Amino acid sequence: AQTVTQSQPEMSVQEAETVTLSCTYDTSESDYYLFWYKQPPSRQMILVIRQEAYKQQNATENRFSVNFQKAAKSFSLKISDSQLGDAAMYFCAYTTNYGGSQGNLIFGKGTKLSVKP
């Protein structure tokens, strides 16, 4: 069974600094998708960034980028120039077309990120 592990329950970063959130996953599939979702306090979860496993190039969205290491099954999120609005719970998620799933997401436990002014 596929699993997603986020080993950092909480992280803290100084405003304007860079922080990296870790995520590892386990799968026997070769074709899958990885996501980072962000849930600000008392707000809806939103997609931050996605990565297709068949793409070697790491995805980037403005200040957010990933380090996708397929062989190591690692998918870390780097937030550059951290802002107060980045404070949130971050979830790493996985999905695949195989095994009968149709977009069903498998989540990690989440990492709570605090940003200090």
Partner 1 sequence: EAGVTQFPSHSVIEKGQTVTLRCDPISGHDNLYWYRRVMGKEIKFLLHFVKESKQDESGMPNNRFLAERTGGTYSTLKVQPAELEDSGVYFCASSQEVRVSHEQYFGPGTRLTVT
Among 30, 69, 109, 116, binds partner 1 (CB under 8 A): 109
Q: Is the separation of the CB atoms in 83 and 98 below 8 Å? A: no
Sites for partner 1 among residues 34-73 (CB under 8 A): 37, 42-47, 50, 52
Among 28, 56, 57, 102, binds partner 1 (CB under 8 A): 102
Q: Are 63 and 55 within 8 A, CB to CB?
A: no
Q: What is the spatial distance between Cα 5 and Cα 8, in angstroms, rounded to a whole number? A: 9
3-state percent breakdown (helix, strand, coil) of the chain, nearest 5: 5, 50, 50
Span of 21-29, 58-66, 72-80, 97-105 interacting with partner 1 by CB under 8 A: 97-105
Least distance (Å) between residue 87 CB and partner 1: 17
Could you say which of 108, 111, 113, 115 contacts partner 1 (CB under 8 A)?
108
Do 17 and 42 contact (CB within 8 A), yes or no? no
Interface ranges with partner 1 (CB under 8 A): 4, 32-33, 37, 42-47, 50, 52, 91, 95-97, 100-110
